[in-house]
Amino acid sequence: MIDLRRLVVLAAVALLALGTGPAVASPAKSKAKATAAVPAAPPPPPFEPLPPPKIYLFRGAMGPIFSTGMDRLSEKLTQAGFSADVYEFTICRLIGNRAIASYKESPAPIVLIGHSMGGLCSVVISEMAAKENVPISLVIAIDPAHATGDVPLNVERFINIFLSDSVLGGGDVVAVPGFRGHYASYDLKENARVSHINIEKSDDIHRQIVEMVTQLPRIPPQTQADAVPLRYLVPGDTLVELWDSGVRVPVRRGDTMESIAAANRVPLWTLAQSNSLAENAQLTPGQTVIVPRHLTPPEPAAAMAAPPPGRK
């Protein structure tokens, strides 16, 4: 009688010798193959500096008389090597269409800076650009008119330097809902040396604007999810720095409001205002505080907004 079990064993041996039998891989080898099959994510491409920005400056009403600081700022930006031209706010839409067309032809960061009605114009052009899906890299409004609209979503950075008690300006500009860019607002109404007709003439503010525009093309894109809006009522006769937004910093054991301010080289009053805390407030490890930040780490010395004396 034929031993069926013996025949089955012999057939299995023959199949394995020919390599046609079912192969059973070890779990370790299967896992290794699966891992090897998933390609590693390529590293992000190195950041390449953007082209120099094109800067459009706008005077307010009766600009050649009352907005001469915009001309001086334009001269400083031009001396720094930028394309910076000054216009009357009355031709706002004409210049806006020109800026949008120029960007579409040769993309370069757009910077808009305006005083009084020129500040309103800067936001109007931003709205025009939003409809054309054109980004605006930086908008700086200097005591814009009350009628100035909200900052649209296509603006990457917005800074408002204003006097809330000003009749000619006083535009407390806010951003539209869902805005994720960098935002900073500075109310200088407590500075007795500043008025609507000299706020745009501050050499120190000019210097900071030139530095900011110079840094702009060199800064890699920053995540906007962690950008915290800043709104400050700047104490009278104090230092003024043009931060572009805030960042949340975790509190460590032993930290105080004063030590965090010193470590980040910011005035203590900024932490108090942005966090709605007293300057000597007790902090708890694990909580976060909002600290203002620059495009790049700040210099040791801040800038004083010190236009000619005499409030008018």
Instruction: Give me the helices (H) in 111-264, please.
Output: 117-131, 203-215, 257-263
Average pLDDT of the chain, as a whole number:
84
- What is the predicted pLDDT for the residue at 155? 96
pLDDT digits 0-9 by tens, 248-262:
999 999 999 999 999
Residue type, 158: F
pLDDT digits 0-9 by tens, 172-222:
999 999 999 999 999 999 999 999 999 999 999 999 999 999 988 877 655
43-57, 121-135, 170-184: which has the minimum mean pLDDT?
43-57
Give the pLDDT band (50/70/90) at residue 225: low
pTM: 0.80
- What is the predicted pLDDT for the residue at 308? 41
- What is the predicted pLDDT for the residue at 174? 97
Percentage of the residues of the chain whose pLDDT score is greater than 70: 77
Helix (H, G, I), strand (E, B), or coil: what is residue 265?
Answer: coil
- What is the predicted pLDDT for the residue at 248? 94
**CA proximity to 182, closest of 224, 141, 135:** 224
What single DSSP character describes residue 280? T
pLDDT digits 0-9 by tens, 67-102:
999 999 999 999 999 999 999 999 999 999 999 999
**CA proximity to 172, closest of 180, 182, 184:** 184
- What is the predicted pLDDT for the residue at 9? 44
- What is the predicted pLDDT for the residue at 309? 42
pLDDT at 64 over 60: yes
pLDDT at 16 over 60: no
- What is the predicted pLDDT for the residue at 51? 87
- What is the predicted pLDDT for the residue at 122? 98
**Residue with token string 């001469």:** 68
**CA proximity to 154, closest of 194, 232, 99, 114:** 99
- Comparing 43 with 248, the larger pLDDT belongs to 248
**Do residues 49 and 220 lie in contact, with contact meaning Cβ atoms separated by under 8 Å?**
no
**CA proximity to 64, closest of 139, 115, 120, 130:** 115
Cβ of 35: how many Cβ atoms within 10 Å?
A: 8
272-276, 283-287, 304-308: which has the minimum mean pLDDT?
304-308
What single DSSP character describes residue 242? -
Long-range CB pairs of 257-266, under 8 A, 24+ apart, other chains included: 257/281, 257/283, 257/289, 260/289, 260/291, 264/291, 264/293, 265/297, 265/298, 265/300, 266/241, 266/291, 266/292, 266/298
pLDDT digits 0-9 by tens, 140-155:
999 999 999 999 999 9
Average pLDDT of the segment spanning 272-300: 86
